[in-house]
Amino acid sequence: MRILVLGGDGYCGWATALYLANQGHSIGIVDNFVRRQWDHELGAQTLTPIRPLVERLAVWQELTGKKIESFVGDVTDYDCLASVMSNFRPDAVVHFAEQRSAPYSMIDRKHAVFTQTNNVVGTLNLLYAIREIVPDCHLVKLGTMGEYGTPNIDIEEGYITIEHNGRSDRLPFPKQPGSFYHLSKVHDSHNIAFTCKAWGIRATDLNQGVVYGTTTKETSMDEALINRFDYDEVFGTVLNRFCAQAALGYPLTVYGKGGQTRGFLDIRDTVRCVEIACQNPAKQGEFRVFNQFTEQFTVLQLAELVKEAGTEVGLEVEIDHLPDPRVEAEEHYYNAKHSTLIALGLKPHLLSKSLLDSLINIAVHYRDRIDASLFAPQVNWRNPRNERHHAEKHTRQPALDKSLV
Ligand code: NAD
Ligand code: USQ
């Protein structure tokens, strides 16, 4: 298949592009490198030293003989996106190219507006580009489990059958997202569902849980192909952060009681799930939703697993409970379905002792690159940063000259 990976220089996108290329698909990457800029903005860097995209791609081609095309551009720029779509003519587009950090979206008004503009406009442009240029192309869109929030009932895969006043209907599962980022994904889902109905777009929304790990078969072929490993407060996801903290002897930063339960998956399963979705496309006009995670854990359970694994390799690991900077339930019911991808052939890599050891080993290996000042949470959901106002002071209009009226 010809598969275009939007956001292919990022954490999930890079691993996915290489995996799909290795499976024999023709791959194109689109990215505007804004993720690398956010690291500069935040004064953070990935634990693992990632190379510029051109270098990564040259090494990949040298090692495998497989060429991955790359297009540098912003998906919120319609002309740019349309020209890539006309040039590459994909059978499937995998859309990772969004601002994906909940804390980043909660910094202040500017970051909330940027997140929603970048994400919602990019996806809307993509829907138009598919309709106008490649109407048969299958959209594989990365959504998030966080769209559902933490309701006190089981979470279904996208839809729920509701009986009301003697009638029954299959309706979108209620959404209760917990940040302006998670809200942007809900807005995307609505736009996609509408265009499937209105224009016959075929789409699969992969409501992915929190991803951990950094290594896949392809990214381990050479150090130049290494993937991102974010550990900072804004972009680091919880298990990756705990491993980096353990490596440095910094207390694991459990927010609140740590009873927050989420769905998790290994990055090796992310890439396989995307392949499964591409191989089994949605029908024309169909809007499918798959819940993409393999196991549920509470944050405290993960901290305890990291503490156990770290202690065994001789690290001193303490668990700290910090006041939760987010507005979220610290203890709650959580039971989310995730059977469709398994039924389609996913064989999960469950969180094992050896995987935890290897994650901690990577963190220990690159320990010198860790900046401990990036561990403490600074972004506060209840108290966004105030903005400085730059507008000119409003000056009084001159009195109207009645002789000119
Ligand atoms: P990432 O930030 O590492 O990668 C995203 C990539 O998209 C970056 O390389 C960035 O430069 C690019 N990008 C962003 N906006 C763009 C634009 N307007 N035009 C072109 N390129 C743009 O993020 P990730 O962790 O790889 O996540 C990828 C997707 O998966 C996101 O949509 C995210 O919401 C979703 N997701 C991620 C996780 C996770 O744990 N990492 C979990 C669930 C869902
Ligand atoms: N948490 C801690 N301590 C930390 C970091 C996080 O207790 O040091 C807690 C958070 O409060 C939250 C949970 O761990 O309850 C998960 O936080 P996270 O930062 O690992 O993940 P989240 O903000 O939910 O976002 C990540 C990705 C996002 C994706 C989402 C999937 O950044 O792109 O959409 O996971 S999901 O959570 O299913 O919505």
Ligand 1 binding pocket mutation candidate from 6, 9, 12 (most atoms within 8 A of CB):
12
- Residue ID of nearest Cα to ligand 2 atom 8: 253
**Quick one: pLDDT at residue 387?**
81
pLDDT at 392 over 60: no
Q: Does ligand 1 come within 6 angstroms of the Cβ of 340?
A: no
Q: Which residues contact 346 (CB under 8 A, 6 or more apart)?
A: 269, 272, 273, 276, 294
- CA-to-CA distance for 129 and 195, rounded, in angstroms? 12
Q: Does ligand 1 come within 6 angstroms of the Cβ of 96?
A: yes
Residue at 340 is within a domain: yes
Summarize the confidence of residues 149-154 as an average pLDDT. 98
- Residue ID of nearest Cα to ligand 1 atom 33: 100
Residue at 75 is within a domain: yes
Ligand nearest to the CA of 377: 2
Ligand nearest to the CA of 80: 1
* Total number of domains constituting the chain: 1
Fill in the DSSP letter of residue 26: E
Q: Per-residue pLDDT tens for 395-404? A: 555 444 444 4
CATH of the domain at 344: 3.40.50.720
Residue at 325 is within a domain: yes
- CA-to-CA distance for 99 and 111, rounded, in angstroms? 10
Give phi and psi for 190, each to the nearest 5: -65, -45
Residue at 45 is within a domain: yes
**Quick one: pLDDT at residue 396?**
53
**Quick one: pLDDT at residue 194?**
98
39: containing domain: 2-376
Counting atoms of ligand 2 from 1, which one is nearest the CA of 103? Answer: 23
Summarize the confidence of residues 119-135 as an average pLDDT. 98
Percent of the chain clearing pLDDT 70 (strictly above): 96
DSSP helix/strand/coil, 71: strand
Residue at 183 is within a domain: yes
Q: How many Cβ atoms from other residues are within 10 Å of residue 49's Cβ?
A: 12
Residue at 395 is within a domain: no
Residue at 154 is within a domain: yes
Q: What is the mean pLDDT of the chain?
A: 95
Q: Per-residue pLDDT tens for 61-94? A: 999 999 999 999 999 999 999 999 999 999 999 9
Summarize the confidence of residues 334-357 as an average pLDDT. 96
pLDDT at 101 over 80: yes
pTM recorded for the entire structure? 0.96
389 pLDDT tier (thresholds 50, 70, 90): low
Residue at 101 is within a domain: yes
End-to-end CA distance of the chain: 69
Q: Per-residue pLDDT tens for 166-180? A: 999 999 999 999 999
Give phi and psi for 142, each to the nearest 5: -80, 110
**Quick one: how far is CA 369 from the chain centroid?**
23
Q: Which of the two residues, 313 and 398, has the higher pLDDT score?
A: 313
DSSP string, 243-285: HHHHHHTPPEEEETTSB-EEEEEEHHHHHHHHHHHHHSPPPTT
394 pLDDT tier (thresholds 50, 70, 90): low
